[in-house]
Structure 1
Amino acid sequence: MKEIKEKARELMKGFCRVCKVCDGKACAGEVPGMGGLNTAASFKNNIEALAQIRLNMRLLHAASEPDCRCTVLGYDLAMPVIAAPIGGVSFNMGGAVSEEEYADAVVGGSKAAGVIGCVGDGVPPFIHEAGNAAVVKNDGHGIPFIKPWEGDEMLEKFEVARKTGCSTFGMDVDAAGLITLRQMGRPVSPKSPQELKNLIDLVHDWDAKFILKGIMTPDEAKLAVEVGADAIVVSNHGGRVLDHTPGTAAVLPGVAQAVSGKLDILVDGGIRDGADVLKMLALGADAVMIGRPISVAAVGGLQDGVEKYYATLKGQLLQAMVLTGSQTIADITPRVIFNG
């Protein structure tokens, strides 16, 4: 991983420093790029909220060989991890690898690791075209995310994504704040509960599932249940759309308390290693999405880099499970969190 990160640092020069600690400080305000919006408070809050969580170490138990397998959205996963939908490597990551190479690395690397990768959407069209092609190449084992476009574009892109053979679709409604898209003449906007219900009903008619990404409050989590979403992602879009939001780890317990058991709860934001994964599960998530670290691995080592990152992450998660007495994913509950 050290070599992969060094290669990524070289290829992403001027776009991402691949810092030893990816905390949003060095890249504050660098949007487009890999940084957070304006002061990057939201990006930094994601990191800080997770860092404030302390774990109870327990070693008087028999969980010496834990099992981190789980089932989320009907997918049997080797661990509760999904690659977040990220696109636009040409203007966010320097363009040293092509959009096609990047999407192939993320989707193919995720499949090889026994998990699943999401693909992004945006402008120019090659972003979603490359993502959809990667899902097709991997026999539908990928999740296309479509932005909340205005007009006919949204439904048209869902129809195109349907042809990939995927069984789950997502919408990153948190992208509604991307003013750059409006400046390009391709506006995105928030969606009313009725608009979402109509879309989700259509997806369900296709015998597929729907993920709604960008939930940060319990009331909107309840709305997601009401409109029929199969899963939500607690997410502030990596701190890239609204400054001064709380970290996702801070709001996750309230969201989980409101809707746990009614849909699958995913979360992203500041997750860097296996201990972070365990923390998010203990706070109420069923699985996590990881963005920037997988992007760095993909740029620095393509599919091999992504697979190596997952292997490292899995090892860290298993170690954290051993040291908290967690034999299975179901054992990762609030009991592992120190509340002193």
Structure 2
Amino acid sequence: MDMRELRENARKQMVGKCRVCPVCNGRACAGEVPGMGGTGTGEAFTENVRALASLKLNLRVIHDSLQPDTTIEMFGQQLKTPIMGAPITGAVINAGEALTEFNMVSALVEGSHLAGSIGWIGDPANPSMYEDGLASIRKAGQGIAIIKPRVSNKEIIELFKLAEKAGAIAVGTDLDGAGLITMALKGQPVGPKTTEQLIELIQSTALPFIIKGIMTVDEAVKCVEVGANAIVISNHGGRVLDHTPGVADVLTEISRAVKGKITILADGGVRSGADVLKLLALGADGVLVGRPLIMGAYGGNTEGVKMIIDKYTSELKAAMILTGCKSVKEIPPEVLWRK
């Protein structure tokens, strides 16, 4: 199977939910939530893609970077690539009935694992769907569990314990899901967390703790202060708050404030290995990919997810050669062209 076949298969499987556009930029699906689009005008989704596309790379060819090193260590695990599978839930609702929740999350976690990376699972309102994610972690032997910020910390901690037993290597909460109405409608209201509540969650587990949904410097600093191990710069794929800036627009300032004090991950708009290089140059230590891996799962299941991550990793290596970068752990900001 090649990329053309993968995309054609996905288009057939996701008919009525996703158009599998030549460039996944959120324009055709604006406002389609549930669905694959961004909320409201869809601008927050499109800004993620635009912010990355607006960045240009400096071509450099006088150097000795012949075999770029794309490996990173993440939460005690050695990964072949800095590209990880983002926590995704709601397959049937958002992407179509061709895959069950278990089919999709298994493809995401196992495909990421086979690509030498790690897959993250999310936490929808339906408990059986969370169990599907835990089962995929058990099968792959590793994974990361991100829990919705339920109003009750007790409920979150109980879900952490299940992830620990399943073999998760890290846990966390996606605070960018704090306004999800669907959770409240199903009797599991969510909301923001105070620093005291975050400290309670962090102290409830011995695993590395991740806070997802950080888009400002002040909140990144707070994450360092409460003792989190990592943050994910993310606007939830543009699906929760309209008119936010793109992830690449805020990453540099956040990195300047907390780089070296906490692991910085970026999630939003990655559509190629060159995009990955851009985010690393802006200060990220690793990146998450969402919608393209959904397309991969629907187009080719586990193999399709692996194919996307492998493709992006290969493109990343090529971009590193042509910008003079030897290791993803040392990507200088000078990789980016500035006027």
TM-score range, shorter chain: over 0.9
1:28 aligns with 2:27: no
Structure 1: distance between partners of 2:330 and 2:323: 9
1:49 aligns with 2:51: yes
Tell me the residue number matched to 2:87.
85
SS of residue matched to 1:84: strand
Deviation, structure 1 residue 184: 2.4
1:13 aligns with 2:15: yes
Which segment is superposed worse, 308-317 or 210-219? 308-317
Tell me the residue number matched to 1:251.
250
SS of residue matched to 1:163: helix
Deviation, structure 1 residue 330: 3.1
Q: How does 1:166-185 map to 2 (within 5 A)?
A: 166-185=168-187
Structure 2: distance between partners of 1:155 and 1:67: 37
Contact 1:107 1:134 in 2 (8 A): yes
SS of residue matched to 2:146: strand
Deviation, structure 1 residue 167: 2.1
Structure 1: distance between partners of 2:47 and 2:306: 28
Q: TM-score, normalised by structure 2?
A: 0.97
1:275 aligns with 2:274: yes
SS of residue matched to 2:337: coil
Structure 1: distance between partners of 2:185 and 2:329: 46
Deviations 1:168-227 (A, max 9, x none): 102111001111221222211101110001110111xx3x10110000000000000011
Deviations 1:231-266 (A, max 9, x none): 000000000000000000000001101100001000
1:150 aligns with 2:160: no
Structure 1: distance between partners of 2:144 and 2:68: 28
Contact 2:157 2:204 in 1 (8 A): no
Q: How does 1:1-340 map to 2 (within 5 A)?
A: 1-139=3-141, 141-151=142-152, 152-203=154-205, 206=206, 208-340=207-339
Aligned AA (1:108): E
Aligned AA (1:268): D
Deviation, structure 1 residue 155: 2.1
Deviations 1:117-158 (A, max 9, x none): 00111122222110001001122x100111001224222212
Deviation, structure 1 residue 81: 1.1
Structure 1: distance between partners of 2:221 and 2:330: 26
Number of residue pairs matched by the alignment: 336
Q: TM-score, normalised by structure 1?
A: 0.97
* Identity level (%): 49
Structure 2: distance between partners of 1:165 and 1:290: 22
Structure 2: distance between partners of 1:106 and 1:22: 18
User: Structure 2: which 5+ runs fail to align?
Assistant: none
Contact 1:72 1:286 in 2 (8 A): no
Q: CA RMSD in A?
A: 1.0
Aligned AA (2:212): K
Aligned AA (1:289): L
Contact 1:73 1:231 in 2 (8 A): no
Aligned AA (2:238): G
Structure 1: distance between partners of 2:320 and 2:216: 29
Contact 1:73 1:264 in 2 (8 A): no
Contact 2:75 2:169 in 1 (8 A): no
Deviation, structure 1 residue 276: 0.1
Aligned AA (2:144): I
Which segment is superposed worse, 243-252 or 160-169? 160-169
Which segment is superposed worse, 238-247 or 147-156? 147-156
SS of residue matched to 2:18: coil
User: Structure 1: which 5+ runs fail to align?
Assistant: none
